[in-house]
Structure 1
């Protein structure tokens, strides 16, 4: 199978000319940007999936963002997914982390502009007394403010903005990762609930069969045709099967409780919502999975790892900029007004300055910081490549589990049909006295096991299909383009607004 190298990586040093003392126009300008400039590193991607020729897969069509609607066509599941997207607390926390990253980006952008450092004001009323002379009153008014502007000579501030942009994009990718995980968990839990309800129905169906077997054994015992052993064996099997139902109901309720957590509500609130049928969902004949190259766009964890890498790449340039002098332009404007007394009048004052500071004696520490940032970057390169590699393995594992579970389902269905026929035949032959009750017991035990295994196999096919979609990264697009603040429900935004009016402009 061919492999493809995706992207290329190139790091180069940006060359900057020294700033002459009289080159004020250069100082006022933005200056250069110390590198390296970031490009995504190469990753190895397969050209095709191992089982892409299977009739149940379609690698030419991309994954539908609303895959759960296409795959299962279940209005109840659709409603549950919508509720989880709106109310899941883990997802809400991820949205708030993205909002925090957005505000950090705004701070980084604001740091590029002149900063009002200080505003001072003074009102002073004094009385001056000299020997033998009446006192005079004097009032002094004083006001000034000053501004400073850090010149981005070496691109340090711009690099910090670029890093904050990448961090924000990484936080949005993290949210997307939580989103597809929550959707998949809701779908799997819902499928498991329906599977367990079907298992309970299967157990009850077998209880009816076993009660009929007990009735026949009791009738033959009363007629003197068999011993009490047949009755006791029939009763033992029946009681064990009846005892299995409470165990299944325990797991069923626990699954409902898990679903309630995913929906962000207490368990009691789910009873009025969930009315899942006691059948296992069917899967479509074919499933669109796209090509391996689509993973770079679809998988949120890949995008998050790449964006974290980009953010770190910018910090190398920030660290390099610390080797060079830092220039600032500042100014002060003030006014003084004196009334009364011997000194009267007003005056204005202003001051403009250009200053710089240079950590020239800390070069050892600064160079170590550059190496630190670069080593961190190289580590994140390996992490990113590992995430891409693991993503392909996840998809291949999910695909093989899905396809092989379908094969198992077909075989288990054949076995389950044969076991039902064997129960009917054994009951008839036992009634006619052709076989011993041990054979009937064996067929009944086997039938219960085969019917239960078939239900589990059907559930495995459906849950494995969910794993395929999860591994492909499908579903996050349903929230694409929405700002972090709009990912929050209205009641949360109102709570934030009541706590601080500084949200008004963003929330309106």
Structure 2
């Protein structure tokens, strides 16, 4: 059988792909990143950091266990994983759509037709009319087993662009999963540091309240002896109430962070109380932190990578829309065996085959496809703007985190000096008390000031570690 002449040039067009080719975010107007971070200090190492398990640098086994449980059981990671599985299935569907489609069918037809002479069909399983209707009826049996296949030739690359968009969407889903892990790892670490901070400061606040109560009791005794006024007593009573009031929010925060860590790991509140009950120091960051450079940051941060993949998918969808404006060529093939007898379905002489090429072209759509192309181009422009925004946010996050972390390190040094001064003062007052030249009230007050300096140092350390965690998150770390 000779093929229609128009099939030859149409088949040659099958290698054509319309629409813009994606050449990276720079082609969308994104500016190149700076060569180095502006806020990096001397403790920020220029080498690139490892992307995974940054929290092990804090050296806390309980935190390591919490991170392991969270990454394995958190609902937020499970949601991102489910979306990744959907994207993988969507890519598989697009791959299958580019292949031929085949169907198998089996048909049996029994028809009763009044007043029609069907010839020999009445002898192949049919029965004559009867039964008092007064009208002759003939019956027909028809059996058929067949296969049909269809295949649309991707003349102008619409299906190839669909496949390209699906691959890019899969990359975006993978980046979103990594971003969920980054955010989760940072949340767990920040909640754990806050818990250890509240745990220690709660203990110190209770100790300070006890000493303030002892000062009040001694002042009341002095008033009874005429050595202090009622005003002095009332002032100390107010200090006692303030000290007791300071304990309450610390206790509430401690319980809240225990509940937060439980839910972040996929557990019910209270499930981790035994694991967190033993006191432990606030974990401290390493002396030197690797930050790399901005270009490596943009390649590493999952949210930036997701935005770039969405831009690639939006660019490919322009080609899908443009390909719809061109002719479509498809082939339909039918093969069947059948006849009026059941034995015809296995008789090779009853084979029927049909091959049908079809060319269709919706050339008069009154601007509908042009509007779809405009929509796709607008979506591409939006994705490009979102990518540029993600880049700027990432660079700002890193610069802010570097600045805050450097300032917190200096704040810890200042708090440590204040703590050393308070310790020295308390020691000197103790010596004076032992020598009989200082009162017990003066000793208790010096110890209370030492406790306050200790609280301030613990809080400064916790804030420094929290800013270290924020820096690691800003650098896009916490995924494999």
Report the TM range for the smaller structure's normalisation.
Answer: 0.7 to 0.9
State the SS of the aligned residue for 1:158: helix
Q: 1:58 aligns with which of 45, 52, 56?
A: 45
Mapping for residues 352-367 of structure 1, pairs under 5 Å: 352-362=355-365, 364-367=367-370
Aligned-pair distance for 1:212?
4.3
Judged with a 3 Å threshold, the aligned counterparts in structure 2 of structure 1 residues 436 and 257 are, in CA distance, closer, same or farther, namely closer
RMSD: 3.1
- Deviation at 1:88? 0.2
Query: 1:292 Cα shift?
Result: 1.0
The residue matched to 2:33 in structure 1 has which SS? strand
1:44 to 26, 32, 39: 32
How many angstroms does 1:375 deviate by? Answer: 1.9
> What corresponds to 1:89 in structure 2?
75
Out of 199-208 and 189-198, give the one that drifted further.
199-208
How far does residue 449 in structure 1 lie from its aligned partner after superposition?
Answer: 4.8
- 2: CA distance between counterparts of 1:463 and 1:127? 90
Q: Equivalent residue of 2:350, what SS?
A: strand
Structure 1 unpaired stretches of 5+: 1-19, 478-508
- Kept in 2, the 8 Å contact 1:138–1:339? The answer is no
Structure 1 position 38, deviation (Å): 0.5
Corresponding position: 1:114 with 2:117: no
CA distance in 2, matches of 1:415, 1:191: 22
SS at match of 1:162: helix
**Aligned position for 2:118:** none
Tell me if the contact between 1:201 and 1:278 (Cα under 8 Å) persists in the aligned partners: no
| Structure-2 residue corresponding to 1:10 | none
Report the counterpart of residue 162 of structure 1 in structure 2: 164
| Correspondence 1:379 to 2:382 | yes
Taking structure 2 as the reference length, the TM-score comes to: 0.85
Aligned length: 451
Determine if contact 2:51/2:479 at 8 Å carries over to the other structure. no
Q: Distance in 2 between matches of 1:183 and 1:335?
A: 64
Aligned partner of residue 398 in structure 2, secondary structure: helix
Which residues of structure 2 form unaligned runs of 5+?
Answer: 111-124
Which residue of 380, 395, 399 maps to 1:396? 399
In structure 2, what is the equivalent of residue 349 of structure 1? 352
- For residue 65 of structure 2, what is the aligned residue in structure 1? 79
Deviation at 1:218, TM superposition (A): 4.6
- 1:102-158 CA-partner distances (Å, limit 9, x unpaired): 1111110000011125624115353234999x9998653222231110100001111
The Cα of 1:47 is off from its aligned counterpart by: 0.5
- Residues 276/292 of structure 1: CA separation in 2 closer, same or farther (3 Å cut): farther
Residue equivalent to 2:312: 310
Partner Cα separation in structure 2 for residue 434 and residue 334 of structure 1? 112
Q: 1:363 and 1:320, CA in 2 relative to 1: closer, same or farther beyond 3 A?
A: farther
Equivalent residues of 2:99, 2:151 under 8 A apart:
yes
Distance 1:368 1:117, change over 3 A: farther
Match of 2:243 in 1: 241
Cα contact 1:114–1:150 (8 A) shared by 2? yes
